[in-house]
Amino acid sequence: MSDGRVDRTIETDVLVIGGGGGGLRAAVAAHDAGARVLVLSKGIVGKSGLTQTAVTGFQVAFGYADPRDNPEVHYGDTIRGGYGLADPELARIFCDEAIAAVEDIESFGARFDREEDGKLIQRKLDSSQTYPRSIKKGDSLGTPIMQALRREMNKREVPRMHEMLVTKLLKDGDRVCGAIALDFQKGEIVEIHAGAIIMATGGAGELFPVHSNTPDSTGDGYALALNAGADLVDIEFLLMLGHAVLHPATVRGVLFTFQYLLTKGAKPLFNSEGESFLSNYDPEGNDNPARHIYARAVYGEVREGRGSPHGGAFFDPGSVSHETLMDSLPSQTKYLEKFGVDMTQPIEVGAAAHYVCGGIKINTQSQSTVPGLFAVGECSGGPHGAGRIGGNSLTEILVFGKRAGAEAAAFANAGNTGSPSSDEVASEASRVTSYLSRERTGPRPNVIKTHLQKLMNDYVGVVRNDEGLRETITEFERIEREDLPTMSMAEDNRIGNYDWIEALEVTAMIRFARAMAGAALLRTESRGAHYREDYPELDDKNWLQNIVIHHSANQDALAFETRECTPGPEYTASLAEAG
């Protein structure tokens, strides 16, 4: 039955939502700042999220490989990689604090690959790095980071709850004061009171049919923050990569990072006519262009009828030897071979959603526009702008995780904790439990999700245009109006009911998808990860602006606002034209 009853109430100082690298780093920092901390994850805390799957590297300007490198150069690369739209203050903090953040994670016991002289190995991943800067650990960089953070969590005995889906953030006046969550294992509605909340909910790859994320990357954090009145920024910049494996379906979406192993002049991809084509899509004519160009190039070939059978292009095994793959990408190579991919034959690769460059707009304290609500990692927005260069996301979670944890603890410890209104709690509990008493006449959540994914892929993915975006937004509005109210589950069991989780996720997904499509429609230019075929040029005259989104007074309407961005001298139009 639908009722406003809460099954359990829990109190903490700092609530961390998300059990990946950013969440754990923040939790450890908040604990060390003297706060009582509780970490919730939709999955298993410490084993959920994308950090653990990180492969290639993270950028830290030690200057070991090239003494000319330093945080200033890293900052310039980040601003240029963000096509002028990164928040300069946040990018500055990010680059300046990266070295200390790595020293911290090493003090937690994480070990990375070193040269014989004991210095960390630094590699150049691609042209977005002026000098070799990426730290690595074999081809499984996420593993030592997560192991170290799990150890620190255990050492401090930080409380955690697994398989909890947060459905709403609670407020007292302007500030957040708690959350409502659904406990998947127990089927219970849990009310949490918290002095501060840190969102570490990751990205939204699951909005697309093919993505590199985990299947629970449904963008809940963005929708929760929006619904709580927080601003989102730069979310039209969805990084699509063009080097995900498309076939066989067993490994679809898994990134195959061959582009970091190419020798000069190698032509890694060819179309169904056997022609290499990447350089045709790069303004500078590179055979190994910036990573967002890959997706656009493959898309172009598919549209011209020169695609592979599963909608991509072919990786040429002649461009990287099997020996090199086994040497540099052993985990990826073994994984693909396990599922029958012959790495010595052409492999079908193509577009996969990878990373939302923007997100919950944060300030230098990692705090959102809602007091007490903090954000870290992919769900946050500001440090990257219109594009995130490879290797900057792991650095980001370490730098801003530490900041968010310390700042949230300070906020919570300052006292004047709010308390939620009982009406708001009851109304949310009723909303969540209402799914249990619905007539089973409407579509199941996964039917709506599949429809949403197709719309996102066709109109809000690699290439966008006015007509497609408008029609898609109209359809999202129709889904919210007609499909969501009738959406029903296969059964009304409370315990371990994944349809229940998915129904709540899909509701959040539609909200965020509508926001992303709306921002993409508004931005009538092409920049970084956002490409409009009807406005294919970068337009610095009109669009050195961030798009900020929030709920208007009418709770169902989203308000889009543009704000001037002043990127400073590091941003030069000539370098940005590659977009």
Partner 1 sequence: MEKLNITLYRFDPSCDDKPRMQGYDIESDGPLSVLQAIRHVYHKVDGTLSFRNSDCRRGVCGICSMMINGRRQLTCMCLATDGMTVEPPPNRTIVKDLVFETD
Angle at the Cα of 573 from the Cα atoms of 570 and 575, rounded to 5 degrees: 75
Residue 488 Cβ vs partner 1, minimum distance, rounded to whole Å: 10
List the x/- string, 67-106, binding to partner 1 by CB under 8 A: ----------------------------------------
497 binds partner 1 (CB under 8 A): yes
Report the residue number, 53 or 363, with the smaller CB distance to partner 1: 53
283 binds partner 1 (CB under 8 A): no
Q: Which of 65, 230, 254, 519 binds partner 1 (CB under 8 A)?
A: 254
Residues within window 113-132 making contact with partner 1, judged by CB under 8 A: none
Report the residue number, 5 or 338, with the smaller CB distance to partner 1: 338
Q: Which of 107, 250, 419, 524 binds partner 1 (CB under 8 A)?
A: 250
- Choose one: 271-279, 283-291, 489-497, 561-569; the region binding partner 1 (CB under 8 A): 489-497
330 binds partner 1 (CB under 8 A): no
249 binds partner 1 (CB under 8 A): yes
Q: How far apart, in whole angstroms, are the C-alpha atoms of residue 217 and residue 422?
A: 30
What DSSP letter does each residue of 17-65 carry, written as one string?
Answer: E--SHHHHHHHHHHHHTT--EEEE-SS-TTT-SSGGG--S-EE----SS
- 3-state SS, 247-279, equals CCHHHCCCECCHHHHCCCCCCCEECCCCCECHH
Cis peptide before 248 (omega within 30 of 0): yes
Q: Which of 324, 446, 465, 562 binds partner 1 (CB under 8 A)?
A: 446
Helix or strand run (H / E) with residue 144: helix 142-155
Residue 278 Cβ vs partner 1, minimum distance, rounded to whole Å: 26
Number of neighbouring beta carbons within 10 Å of residue 535: 18
Q: How far apart, in whole angstroms, are the C-alpha atoms of residue 403 and residue 396?
A: 10
339 binds partner 1 (CB under 8 A): yes
Q: How far apart, in whole angstroms, are the C-alpha atoms of residue 213 and residue 205?
A: 5
- 3-state SS, 474-529, equals HHHHHHHHHHHHHCCCCCCCCCCCHHHHHHHHHHHHHHHHHHHHHHHHHCCCCECC
- Choose one: 70-78, 136-144, 346-354, 514-522; the region binding partner 1 (CB under 8 A): 136-144
215 binds partner 1 (CB under 8 A): yes
Q: Which of 5, 119, 338, 470 binds partner 1 (CB under 8 A)?
A: 338
Greatest alpha-carbon pair distance for the chain in Å reads 68
369 binds partner 1 (CB under 8 A): no
Q: Are 14 and 8 in contact (CB under 8 A)?
A: no
- Structure tokens given for 240: 């699509």
Q: Which of 89, 103, 482, 491 binds partner 1 (CB under 8 A)?
A: 491
140 binds partner 1 (CB under 8 A): yes
Q: Which of 9, 107, 422, 493 binds partner 1 (CB under 8 A)?
A: 493
- Amino acid found at 447: V
Number of neighbouring beta carbons within 10 Å of residue 481: 10
Residues within window 150-209 making contact with partner 1, judged by CB under 8 A: 162-163, 184-185
- Choose one: 109-117, 238-246, 274-282, 338-346; the region binding partner 1 (CB under 8 A): 338-346
Residue 340 Cβ vs partner 1, minimum distance, rounded to whole Å: 7
Residue 530 Cβ vs partner 1, minimum distance, rounded to whole Å: 28
143 binds partner 1 (CB under 8 A): yes
Strand 238-245 with 347-356, pairing: antiparallel
- Structure tokens given for 213: 């994320």
Q: Which of 100, 326, 414, 495 binds partner 1 (CB under 8 A)?
A: 495
**How crowded is the C-beta side of 114, counted as CA atoms within 13 Å?**
8
Residue 364 Cβ vs partner 1, minimum distance, rounded to whole Å: 32
Report the residue number, 501 or 548, with the smaller CB distance to partner 1: 501
Residue 421 Cβ vs partner 1, minimum distance, rounded to whole Å: 31
- Structure tokens given for 282: 């790069």
Q: How many residues bind partner 1 (CB under 8 A)?
A: 38
Report the residue number, 485 or 496, with the smaller CB distance to partner 1: 496
Q: Are 572 and 80 in contact (CB under 8 A)?
A: yes
Helix or strand run (H / E) with residue 350: strand 347-356
- Amino acid found at 568: G
Residue 304 Cβ vs partner 1, minimum distance, rounded to whole Å: 25
What DSSP letter does each residue of 365-403 carry, written as one string?
Answer: TSB-SSTTEEE-GGGEESSSTT---TTHHHHHHHHHHHH
Report the residue number, 248 or 285, with the smaller CB distance to partner 1: 248
Helix or strand run (H / E) with residue 294: helix 291-303
Residue 501 Cβ vs partner 1, minimum distance, rounded to whole Å: 8
Q: Are 508 and 218 in contact (CB under 8 A)?
A: yes
Report the residue number, 49 or 372, with the smaller CB distance to partner 1: 49
340 binds partner 1 (CB under 8 A): yes
Q: Are 183 and 242 in contact (CB under 8 A)?
A: no
142 binds partner 1 (CB under 8 A): yes
- Choose one: 116-124, 275-283, 426-434, 484-492; the region binding partner 1 (CB under 8 A): 484-492
Q: How far apart, in whole angstroms, are the C-alpha atoms of residue 132 and residue 542?
A: 34
- Cβ-in-10-Å burial (0-12, 13-18, 19+) of 1 comes to exposed
Residue 339, CA distances (Å) to 311, 333, 350 in order: 20, 10, 18
Residue 249 Cβ vs partner 1, minimum distance, rounded to whole Å: 5
Residues within window 35-54 making contact with partner 1, judged by CB under 8 A: 41-44, 47-48, 52-53
468 binds partner 1 (CB under 8 A): no
Q: Which of 77, 126, 216, 483 binds partner 1 (CB under 8 A)?
A: 216
- Choose one: 73-81, 137-145, 430-438, 477-485; the region binding partner 1 (CB under 8 A): 137-145
Q: How far apart, in whole angstroms, are the C-alpha atoms of residue 170 and residue 481?
A: 24
Report the residue number, 7 or 424, with the smaller CB distance to partner 1: 7
Residue 532 Cβ vs partner 1, minimum distance, rounded to whole Å: 32
Which residues form the interface with partner 1 (CB under 8 A)? 41-44, 47-48, 52-53, 140, 142-143, 162-163, 184-185, 214-216, 248-250, 254, 335, 338-340, 444, 446, 489-491, 493, 495-499, 501
